[in-house]
C-alpha cells in the first residue's frame, strides 16, 4: 500500500525577517501548473505628499496568522489553485522594503491572478496588522481616521 502523502498547499508566515520572493515562488511552483501570479507590496517613499522615513508594522500575531490562513483556505475554495503563499513582515521597514508577498500557482493563469488579487484585497481588509508611518516631523497610524 502506498503511503498517503498530504502535500502542503498553504504557506503563511508573519516574520521580522526580510521576506524572500524566491522562497514564495519555490513554495507555490508546481509541475502540474502553467503559471504563478505574485503580488509584492513595497514601502512607498511618500503618502499624501509627505516623505516617509520608515514604517513600523505591528500585529495581533496569533489572530493575524489565523486570518491569513483563512484567506488562503478561502482562495482554495473560491478558485482552482494549487498552492498559495501569504508572507507578511512585522517590525521596522525602510523605503523599498517588502511588507507582503502573495504567490499563487494554478493550472489556469486567470485563477492565479484572481486568487492573488482576492488574497491581497482580503488581507488589507481583515488581517489585524497595523502600519505606523514615521515622518521626519512625526508619526501617524495609517487608516486610523478614515
State the residues that interact with other proteins by CB under 8 A.
41, 57-60, 62-64, 66, 88, 99-100, 120, 123-132, 141-144, 146
Binding stretches for a copy of itself (CB under 8 A): 21-22, 25, 29-42, 44-46, 95-96, 105, 107, 109-110, 112-113, 116-117, 120
The three cell numbers of residue 75 are: 482562495
Q: Would the CA dihedral through 39, 129, 131, 142 be positive or negative?
A: positive
Q: Compute the least distance from the CB of residue 2 to other proteins, in Å.
A: 35
Contact by Cβ (8 Å): 135, 104: no
Question: What's the farthest any 2 CA atoms get from each other in the chain?
Answer: 67
Given other proteins, a copy of itself, none, residue 38, with its beta carbon under 5 to 8 Å by kind, binds a copy of itself
Q: Which is nearer to other proteins, 4 or 18 (CB)?
A: 18
Contact by Cβ (8 Å): 105, 31: no
Report the C-alpha gap between 45 and 53 in whole angstroms. Answer: 8
Q: Which is nearer to other proteins, 114 or 133 (CB)?
A: 133
Amino acid at each position: 500500500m502506498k503511503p498517503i502523502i498530504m502535500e502542503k498547499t498553504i504557506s503563511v508566515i508573519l516574520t521580522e525577517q526580510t521576506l524572500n520572493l524566491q522562497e514564495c515562488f519555490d513554495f507555490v511552483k508546481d509541475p502540474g501548473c502553467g503559471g504563478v501570479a505574485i503580488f509584492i507590496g513595497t514601502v512607498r517613499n511618500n503618502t499624501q505628499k509627505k516623505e516617509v522615513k520608515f514604517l513600523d508594522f505591528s500585529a495581533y500575531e496569533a489572530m493575524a496568522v489565523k486570518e491569513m490562513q483563512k484567506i488562503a483556505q478561502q482562495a482554495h475554495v473560491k478558485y482552482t489553485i494549487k498552492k498559495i503563499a501569504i508572507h507578511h513582515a512585522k517590525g521596522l521597514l525602510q523605503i523599498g522594503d517588502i511588507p507582503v508577498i502573495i504567490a499563487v500557482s494554478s493550472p489556469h493563469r486567470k485563477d492565479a491572478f484572481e486568487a492573488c488579487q482576492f488574497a491581497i484585497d482580503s488581507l488589507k481588509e481583515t488581517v489585524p496588522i497595523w502600519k505606523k508611518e514615521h515622518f521626519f516631523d512625526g508619526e501617524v497610524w495609517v487608516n486610523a481616521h478614515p
